[in-house]
Chain A
Amino acid sequence: MSKPDTEQLDRLIEWMREGGFQRLTYSKGKGKSITLALPDTGGAAVARPLRTILSPGMGIFTLRHPVAAAPYVGVGQKVAAGEVVALLAVGPVLTAVESPCDGVVRRVLAEEGAVIGYEDPLFEIEPAGV
């Protein structure tokens, strides 16, 4: 039996990275399937561009509602389009920062308690694949 063509494998890896796929499963009937998985290399290695959530306004950045036990999100957490990921506080008034798309939180770019200006970068989201 001949060795698999590594050039084909290289092309397959490149194709997967471009498409932002982590895993590829090829199946042709019962018993004939194969799954290829790329290692999870985090931010820079993923081919699909990250989206940066920019602040919709001004205020003090907080990842947690004052009476909530837990923060809205953490790194690696899935979010849905429109979901609240953080709050901006101006005195006693809170406005929400929403995720623009479905995806996974990859980085938190602002510090808890920092004073944030309009369009300051807050999060990096890896948008969900198609």
Chain B
Amino acid sequence: MITVLSAHGPVTIQDRGWIGYYRDGVSRSGAMDRLALALGNALLGNAPDAACIEVPLTPLRLRFDTDLAFAIAGADCGATLDGKALSPYWATTARAGQVLSLGKVRWGSFAYVALAGGIDVPSVLGARSTHLRGGFGGLEGRPLRTGDTLRSLRSETVLPRGGIGTLPLPPLRSGDDDTIGVRVLPAGEYELFTAAARTMLWQLAWPVSRQSNRTGYRLDGPPLPMSTRMEMRSHGVVPGTIQVPGGGPPIIQLADAATMGGYPKIGAIIEADLWRTAQVRYGQKLKFIEVDYAGAVAALNELEAYIAECTAVIDSTRRALARAA
């Protein structure tokens, strides 16, 4: 069991999100960085979709009220356990009374805290994620507050002495350190944008504006004009969709995005790079890299293979320990 000593901003419980409820208008939601969710869970031997705590770029302090195995994943946020530094993407066992502190972010936007077995909150429509707009799921459909207590589905898990971790995947650098590349497939209305607009899409480094959150990231930059003005009928939207409302700069729809929209779409960030997109923060820029469908599928397969490899090695390490014990 853990107690929230202090939390700021929208700290929420997230798992993989809702599957099969787009027809009810329920966004997929779930973790913004699904790689971090998968690896945080893998480090603890959890089911891959177990619920974790998602921590946006803000300080958080949690106290362990019982001995408990936990993992941190995602953003490198200067995590400490009773003041002792933890490596990023690391699992270890806390003793009752110890305090986990996430504070100074060195890289990324979203950190994740996974607990042995996953966070024990009710499953709503098949998921333990938090739907902020709908006010359901996770912990009472709301962000965590000081004083909240959370239970985990297990208390311990076999971990090597000193813990276990994974190598963080690098962002795709494009240009300077603050420009992150993400791969994009052109979308339905791509050809209806002017040639100049399409050129700008690929060539510019797009700063992420302050108006960026789980629903979407607004980008700063020039408008992307279309060859013809159009009113589109409302149609489905999935995370990664890059919309261009009213010929303005692009908006990237993300985890909590509305399931339908009527704005023209110039492209979609591939599923495999959504985690990279999520970890870009205000002050950094996105560079869109064009790929084709085959390239996008290959990237997704590569990401899934990486997760599978980590999971296999972690599991065999833990099994060997369990046998030796």
Contacts and interface: CB of A to CB of B under 8 A. Distances in A.
Interface stretch (A12-20, A34-42, A43-51, A84-92): A84-92
A101 interface: no
Contacts of B167: 66, 89, 92-94
Contacts of A92: 166-167, 306, 309-310, 313
B15 to A, nearest CB: 23
B317 A65 contact: no
A60 to B, nearest CB: 11
A68 B164 CA distance: 16
A98 B161 contact: yes
Contact of B162 (A68, A91, A93, A96): A96
Contacts of A122: none
Interface centre among B167, B168, B309 (most CB of A within 10 A): B167
A84 B161 CA distance: 10
Contacts of B309: 91-92
B161 A93 contact: no
A94 B107 contact: no
Interface string B148-177: 000000000000111111111000000000
B88 interface: yes
Interface string A62-91: 000111100000000000001110010111
Contacts of B313: 90-93
Interface string B259-290: 00000000000000000000000000000000
B314 interface: yes
Nearest to B89: A94
Contact of B160 (A57, A68, A82, A83): A57
Contacts of B168: 66-67
B256 interface: no
B33 interface: no
B54 interface: no
Contacts of B163: 95-96
A89 B32 CA distance: 28
B209 interface: no
A56 interface: yes
Contacts of B314: 93
B120 interface: no
Contacts of B162: 56, 82, 84, 95-98
B166 A96 contact: no
Interface residues of A, number: 20
Contacts of B87: 65, 68, 84, 94
B311 to A, nearest CB: 9
A96 B107 contact: no
A91 to B, nearest CB: 5
A67 B76 contact: yes
Contacts of A89: 167
A94 B313 CA distance: 10
A82 to B, nearest CB: 8
A96 B76 contact: no
A10 B76 CA distance: 55
A94 B161 contact: no
A90 B317 contact: yes
Interface string A92-112: 111111100000000000000
A93 B164 CA distance: 7
Contacts of A56: 160-162
A81 to B, nearest CB: 12
A112 to B, nearest CB: 16
A82 B161 CA distance: 9
Interface in B168-188: 168
Contacts of B317: 57, 90, 93, 95
A92 B303 CA distance: 13
A57 B160 CA distance: 10
B96 to A, nearest CB: 17
Nearest to A83: B84
17 contacts: A56-B161, A65-B165, A67-B107, A84-B162, A90-B317, A91-B310, A92-B306, A93-B317, A94-B87, A95-B160, A95-B163, A96-B161, A96-B162, A96-B165, A97-B162, A98-B161, A98-B162
